[in-house]
Amino acid sequence: MADKIIFNRVAIAGVGLIGGSLALAGKRAGVFGKVIGLGRGKENLATALRLGVVDEVTSDMAEAARGADLFFVATPVESIAPMILKAAPFLPRGCVITDGGSVKQSIVRRVEAELPEGLFFAAGHPVAGTEKTGAQAAFADLYKDRFTILTPTPKTSAQALEKVRAMWAATGSKVVIMTPEEHDEAMAVISHLPHLVAFALMDAVAACDPDGKRRAFSAGGLRDTTRIAGSDPVMWRDIFSMNQSLLLQSLTRFQDSLDGLRMSVESGDFGALQASLERISRARRELD
């Protein structure tokens, strides 16, 4: 298996679902040598070690960084750039750095502006996840058949990008390349907007049904539509904050759509309403 190895010593900051699953998938594929888990939560690190998610654990940045040829940051999205810049003085020259953040422009901009020479950042976003968190949620198949988006810029080292691409491909993921802008525009529409809308819908339902009696009669529709409103509030605060302007653009588009449907209902123009619903329903059925 030794000839498959892409990274000999992998430091993973944040050994939760994303970081832990990459550790497991990379080890299983034989592309990682030793994997060191870096984190602050002693209990989570102990779990990661006990379950064999990583080979070693530490809360000490210098210790994790020492000798690493890959530094993967899977911490909350707001702390990714600060974490990379904090680790940089400890990382050996030639080290490849990548991340799992679901917003890319702001991270790439800051890291490229401040990263010292001799370290190579190739940003990424594995589009995968479950509601579960922590090392005990990690599993080697998380990335199988899912997309991973890499977002190089003209400053990105082609060699670093290729290594990161090969690593994600080894997990079974489908790797796609786009610019950080394209990534954030796409995510604003297909992920961040649906989350904001689901949060608003759940808020309205709770407000219209303070004692929960009406919700007792809900069928699958309400549950499906609001499922992602149960997501982690701090994580989504950060994502909304970091992709603010593109999110607001897609939100404006949503409000236009809603206003259009509202106007048809309000004015009793049910012919126009039917035409809209037919177009939309067709688009949704094409998504399956």
Site for a copy of itself in 114-143 (CB under 8 A): 127-129
227 binds a copy of itself (CB under 8 A): yes
- Least distance between a copy of itself and beta carbon 269 (Å): 10
Q: Which is nearer to a copy of itself, 69 or 238 (CB)?
A: 238
Q: What would the x/- binding string for a copy of itself be over residues 30 to 69, using CB under 8 A?
A: ----------------------------------------
Q: What would the x/- binding string for a copy of itself be over residues 157 to 196, using CB under 8 A?
A: -------------------x--------xxx-xxx-xxxx
Q: Which is nearer to a copy of itself, 1 or 207 (CB)?
A: 207
Site for a copy of itself in 238-257 (CB under 8 A): 240-241, 244, 247-248, 250-251, 253-257
Q: Directed axis angle between helix 270-287 and helix 244-267, to 10°?
A: 140
Q: Which is nearer to a copy of itself, 87 or 193 (CB)?
A: 193
Give the 3-state secondary structure of residue 143: coil
208 binds a copy of itself (CB under 8 A): yes
Phi/psi of residue 51, nearest 5 degrees? -85, 0
- Can you tell me the distance from the alpha carbon of 204 to that of 191, in angstroms, rounded to the nearest whole number? 20
- Answer for the pair 133, 17: CB distance below 8 angstroms, yes or no: yes
- Answer for the pair 54, 44: CB distance below 8 angstroms, yes or no: no
Distance of CA 17 to CAs 56, 232, 248, Å? Answer: 17, 14, 29
Phi/psi of residue 12, nearest 5 degrees? -115, 115
- Least distance between a copy of itself and beta carbon 199 (Å): 5
- Can you tell me the distance from the alpha carbon of 207 to that of 30, in angstroms, rounded to the nearest whole number? 52
